Amino acid sequence: MSFVFELPEVGEGVVEAEVVSWHVNVGDSVNVDDPLCEITTDKAQLEISSPKSGTILRLHGEPGDIIKVHTPLVEIDESGAPAAPSAPAKAAAPAPSAPTPTPAPAPPPAPAAATNGVSSASALPSSDPSTRTSTKAAPAVRRHAREAGVDIHQVPGSGPGGRVTHDDIQSYQAPAAQASGALPVAAPALPQVLPSGAEERVKIVGIRRKIAEQMVKSKHTAPHFTYVEEVDCTKLVELRTALKPIAAAQGVKLTYIPLVMKAVSVVLRQFPNVNAVMDEDNFELVVKGDHNFGISCDTPNGLFVPVVKNIEQKSVLHIAAEMTDLVERTRAGKAKLDELRGGTFTLTSVGSIGGVFATPILNVPEVAILGVNAIRDAAVVRNGEVVVRKMMYLSPSFDHRVIDGAVGARFVAALKHVLENPEALLLELR
């Protein structure tokens, strides 16, 4: 019997999704909750799992195609279901040492898991790979297993209801890596070079497509201008050096970004219009009282901008702790949707990679973004003498429709003054 699985409703107001990649091919056998594909919407990237066991008859759409909600996604032949729940019990019955497993007392899978196919909503009763018929795991964990070359169905789950976690994947890998008494040494990877005259076409799909669309929208909507200023960060470096062990004693990693974020928040008191978003429909500048700062974050799934809320109410230590946690969860695919929205100002930094300065693109509808660049030793003139100082370029971009060049320059000058005299930030207890 053929079952047509339609794309489920994966979020409020979501009417379509883009196919990012397929995890199955026509002819493959699948069990309930096996991953079928990854999709992306305007709000999130999700993994869709199978609601039925059987054989894949047809896939609707290729990577990059747009699929409407409640239209066919996959067709499954249920007559050839590969692993019905009763099969393991019958096979194990003749062996006295392997009694037929009895149903666990845990509640059955939620109805939503059996109907909408979204893996994060499913529930399973067993953590033992030898007795369970499918595996419960978050999409990020399934991706972790695939990238590590681990069959997730063989991994014992330690989470609630037998859920497999990131730690379970790592624990499962460890014995294999140490079986020979030493960790294996990987052969050096050689760069893949295309032959002369060859070309390769890479389809732009998923998060990368969304990023591209957002960048085009930003450049076409807001006329940008970038203002570059050089800042003497010698005192800032000294302050961070002094505060690092204090922060570490409280389990907090202190980088330069939380100090810059707090400095920006202080300066925005003088320039509230910089902390604003554009209402394009009514062509109004919406000035925000909350300082919700986005942090451009490079992840395995593309560029995300998690948002640290209410900077104006928090100390540098509080900002550092919250930012570290949020960035780590974003890179692991665990950030909540609400933590990726609501920004009023964005900071982007590639200083750890290199470069002198960049011209960042606005994260519309915000009207300003701050490029924070590498701090370098440089020879500068002070009181008629050449000395070595810790120097950094700031390179903010502004929406010229609402932020004049003079306003942007004054904003940067005020920020420069705070960063060059950062001891005042210690008085900002909230």
Report the greatest alpha carbon distance in the chain.
93
Instruction: Determine the Cα–Cα distance for residues 299 and 211; give it in Å rounded to an integer.
Output: 13
Instruction: State how far the alpha carbon of 182 is from the alpha carbons of 173, 175, 179, in Å.
Output: 13, 11, 7
* C-alpha R_g of the chain: 26
Which DSSP letter does residue 313 get?
G
One-character DSSP codes across 23-58: S--TT-EE-TT-EEEEEE-SS-EEEEE-SS-EEEEE
Q: Please work out, in degrees rounded to the nearest 5, the angle formed at the alpha carbon of residue 9 by the alpha carbons of 6 and 15.
A: 95
Asked whether 265 and 312 are in contact (CB, 8 A), the reply is yes
Instruction: Determine the Cα–Cα distance for residues 385 and 382; give it in Å rounded to an integer.
Output: 5
The structure tokens listed for 336 are 């909540």
Question: Is 400 an annotated catalytic residue?
Answer: yes
Helix ranges, 250-315 (H):
256-268
* From 42, 279, 298, 404, active-site residue: 404
* From 60, 166, 224, 400, active-site residue: 400
Question: Is 404 an annotated catalytic residue?
Answer: yes
Closest CA to 401 of 244, 297, 280: 280
Catalytic residue IDs: 400, 404
